[in-house]
Structure 1
Amino acid sequence: MSLIKDVFTDDWLNRLGKAVQAPDFKDVVQQGDWEELAFKQRVRRIATELKRYLPADFEQAATHLETIAPEFPGLPGIVFPDYIEVYAPGDAWDRAMAALERLTRHSTSEFAVRRFLLADQKRFLEVATQWSHSNDEHIRRLASEGTRPRLPWGQMIPSLIADPRPVLPILDALLEDDALYVRKSVANHLNDIAKTHPELVIERLERLGTHPHTDWILRHASRTLLKQGHRDVLKAFGLVTRGTVTVDELTVTPTLAIGGELAFSFHVTTTEPQVLRIEYAIDYVKKRGTSQKVFRISERQVTGREAFAKRQSFRNLTTRVHYPGTHQLTILINGEAYATTEFDVTKEETI
């Protein structure tokens, strides 16, 4: 399976070299430790090597990048906004903003803009507000994605983590956006905010029912709060248990090795037909103590008595490392615990 850093193929680098009149560009870029570089490091390597082939004047260099960017669409084209981030002089703010706006149409400027957001938040948010009203969905998305306080792979924005209110007018302007590309960004941004300032997202749930696009955004923006079983959020989405609901016959793989798979099943009985959000939580054993993670099984109409079964991988991942010990499995319905059992995880089996 190819790695994301491999998007910079020999052919792509040769084409870029031709576009900047640098026949040796591929060889220059790939010298030394190229194979060891991660994706973002390769982006920076290419951007910095472009410097020697582009005009010394920033205005001319930016214009040249804007001209060739349509020939290099998609993720690899992120090197052009990266060049703007690195080499825009302090007194070229407006030209840098114009370049990032134009370049994001062909790739994304969401990482490059953060230098400017960190340097002058008020001034940048004025620009981002204008972008939020653009006719181009890529530019509207940049208004949201570029200001996300915890953008994956991007620099954190401590001031907006501490107080996200300055960016809310931008997100509010995009709550009915026609483009799914934009709506996903707004939902992810609001979900980021929900992790530290849930009240700001809960306030916006009053807009449920005003527009289908708004409903979609707010539902996805509330996923962390729903997993946390937040009462007000569950109620806003109609997930309030009626009548009597029970969970029984919970069975689970009693013992499994790291690298194996947990299998479990159970029955749900409800005295009233209703939509139920059915989840499970696993209390994972960590180096120190335990850490709980919630997973969704379904959210649908349940009538009478129904059976559910699920499997959960215990393979080690870069994002989750497993440890031996007694783990706990809990079945959650509409955010409340209904049944709990334990199972043991042993060391990974060796051949």
Structure 2
Amino acid sequence: MSDQPAPALKEIFNPERLKHIAEQVKAVYPDFDSKAFLKQVNAGLAERSIMQRMAHVADCLHAVLPLDYEASLDVLRQVAPRLNSAFVTLSLPHYVATYGSHAFDTSMDALKYFTVFGSSEFAIRYFLRSDLERSLELMLEWSLDENEHVRRLASEGSRPRLPWSFRLEAIQADPTLAAGILDNLKADPSLYVRKSVANHLNDITKDHPDWVLDLIEGWSLDNKHTAWIAKHALRSLIKQGNQRALAIIGAGSKAQVRLLDLQVTPAVIRLGDSINLNFTVQSTVAESQRLVIDYAIDYVKANGSTSAKVFKLKALTLPGNGRERVSRGQQIRELTTRKHYLGRHAVYVMVNGEHLGSTAFDIVE
């Protein structure tokens, strides 16, 4: 295994890739000034994040292409299938979002086209923010499209809390605005689409948990695709031990079990080491029961207080009087989303939302 760190995500837009973009535009539009484009797009590249680089490519294309908006779109439509990175194609929908607000129909048709090559999920949010009703009406039609990429765009683009993008405050406040899209996709055969629907609903649980629970309780979960969406849409509520969410996936009853031999090893680690969580769940009844097993770590914060993070372990049907041995390893290392501090970190095991036991490990210098 190499000791070299993985390249930063923003290096998707490195000088070699920018040269590739210039070559592909030149191939379909011979009058394109590649040198001028590369001079502009490489300026200040090192300081830009991945999303800033994506937007910068769109801006530089606009600056160099000597064409009106519609003619530029014709060029970019030809470029899209020639690009060698799906993420890089996101620059093309961003071009539409930045320079096409005056031409709604043309721009939305372009976003539908570009999404097949990467995704227009970020770009379409600008149109949702400026013309919500009109955009949602069209996206409702897209949710019935034969192409899974277009159907996914209807759900993903209208997510109230899409990562790496601004929130859609109107849909965040009133999830019924996009409910028709979700209803059309609740049994979609494409896993790509189902993941988006589940993530959309999980977003809503942060603000309107009861709305999501009411919705899913009204669904028939006999369809395996719908049942999959329900389970993954409720994951945050399940981690919180929400009894309605647990009941939907068949684990709403109090677990009739004992927790045996709970331990974390080693009990003392340094940052970068791994811990191993081990325990046994022993049934105390003769009937089988559905269990959802999670664990939480109380991470020490800079001020000495703690903040719990819940992790999924497993869901299973435990036979009457049966037992299940559970093990999980986890490396305790620095992440972009979490900084670790020295001290004692409690570990809790939860079964069907109930804390059944705890142990701890220490991080030392």
TM-score, length basis structure 1: 0.92
CA distance in 1 between counterparts of 2:299 and 2:113 reads 46
Asked if the contact 2:87–2:118 (Cα under 8 Å) also holds between the matched residues in 1, the reply is yes
Counterpart in the other structure of 1:323: 341
Displacement after TM superposition at 1:223 (Å) = 0.7
Q: Which piece of structure 1 moves more, 316-325 or 205-214?
A: 205-214
SS at match of 1:287: coil
Residue 306 (str. 1) matches residue 324 (str. 2):
yes
Displacement after TM superposition at 1:208 (Å) = 3.7
Displacement after TM superposition at 1:139 (Å) = 1.0
SS at match of 2:167: coil
Counterpart in the other structure of 1:51: 62
1:279 to 291, 294, 307: 294
SS at match of 1:52: helix
Q: Which piece of structure 1 moves more, 206-215 or 106-115?
A: 206-215
TM-score, length basis structure 2: 0.89
1:15 to 4, 20, 23: 23
Asked if the contact 1:29–1:46 (Cα under 8 Å) also holds between the matched residues in 2, the reply is no
Counterpart in the other structure of 1:260: 273
SS at match of 1:159: helix
Displacement after TM superposition at 1:98 (Å) = 1.3
**Closer/same/farther in 2, CA of residues 264 and 106 from structure 1, 3 Å limit:** closer
Asked if the contact 1:258–1:345 (Cα under 8 Å) also holds between the matched residues in 2, the reply is yes
Displacement after TM superposition at 1:241 (Å) = 4.3
1:208-236: CA deviation from partner (whole Å, max 9, x where unpaired): 42422111111111111111111011111
1:124-154: CA deviation from partner (whole Å, max 9, x where unpaired): 1111111112121111111111111111111
1:3 to 2, 8, 22: 8
**Closer/same/farther in 2, CA of residues 216 and 305 from structure 1, 3 Å limit:** closer
CA distance in 1 between counterparts of 2:328 and 2:42 reads 49
Q: Which piece of structure 1 moves more, 309-318 or 256-265?
A: 256-265
Q: Give the total of aligned pairs.
A: 346
Asked if the contact 2:202–2:233 (Cα under 8 Å) also holds between the matched residues in 1, the reply is yes
1:76-109: CA deviation from partner (whole Å, max 9, x where unpaired): 1111111111111x43111111111111122211
SS at match of 1:43: helix
Counterpart in the other structure of 2:96: 84
**Identity, % of aligned pairs?**
38
Asked if the contact 1:17–1:25 (Cα under 8 Å) also holds between the matched residues in 2, the reply is no
CA distance in 2 between counterparts of 1:276 and 1:121 reads 42
Counterpart in the other structure of 1:140: 151
1:39 to 25, 35, 50: 50
CA distance in 2 between counterparts of 1:55 and 1:171 reads 41
1:157 to 153, 164, 168: 168
SS at match of 1:147: coil
**Closer/same/farther in 2, CA of residues 284 and 77 from structure 1, 3 Å limit:** same
**Closer/same/farther in 2, CA of residues 53 and 104 from structure 1, 3 Å limit:** same
- Which residue type is aligned with residue 302 of structure 2? K
CA distance in 1 between counterparts of 2:116 and 2:256 reads 53
2:311 to 295, 305, 312: 295
Counterpart in the other structure of 2:257: 245
Asked if the contact 1:250–1:264 (Cα under 8 Å) also holds between the matched residues in 2, the reply is yes
Counterpart in the other structure of 2:246: 234
Displacement after TM superposition at 1:166 (Å) = 0.6
SS at match of 2:258: strand
Q: Which piece of structure 1 moves more, 159-168 or 330-339?
A: 159-168
1:200 to 188, 211, 228: 211
Asked if the contact 1:13–1:26 (Cα under 8 Å) also holds between the matched residues in 2, the reply is no
CA distance in 2 between counterparts of 1:329 and 1:59 reads 58
1:18-77: CA deviation from partner (whole Å, max 9, x where unpaired): 244233256324533212322111111111111133343212212221232222262111
Counterpart in the other structure of 1:220: 232
- Which residue type is aligned with residue 82 of structure 2? E
CA distance in 1 between counterparts of 2:233 and 2:359 reads 31
CA distance in 2 between counterparts of 1:109 and 1:297 reads 34
CA distance in 2 between counterparts of 1:210 and 1:244 reads 27
Residue 337 (str. 1) matches residue 355 (str. 2):
yes
**Closer/same/farther in 2, CA of residues 243 and 228 from structure 1, 3 Å limit:** closer
**Closer/same/farther in 2, CA of residues 33 and 342 from structure 1, 3 Å limit:** same
1:141-170: CA deviation from partner (whole Å, max 9, x where unpaired): 111111111111112112222222211111
CA distance in 2 between counterparts of 1:97 and 1:126 reads 12
Asked if the contact 1:14–1:25 (Cα under 8 Å) also holds between the matched residues in 2, the reply is no
Q: Mapping of 1:53-72 within 5 angstroms?
A: 53-72=64-83
1:126 to 111, 125, 137: 137
Q: Which piece of structure 1 moves more, 307-316 or 4-13?
A: 4-13
Asked if the contact 2:234–2:245 (Cα under 8 Å) also holds between the matched residues in 1, the reply is yes
CA distance in 2 between counterparts of 1:135 and 1:224 reads 31
CA distance in 2 between counterparts of 1:91 and 1:23 reads 28
CA distance in 2 between counterparts of 1:86 and 1:171 reads 28
CA distance in 2 between counterparts of 1:63 and 1:48 reads 17
**Closer/same/farther in 2, CA of residues 332 and 242 from structure 1, 3 Å limit:** closer
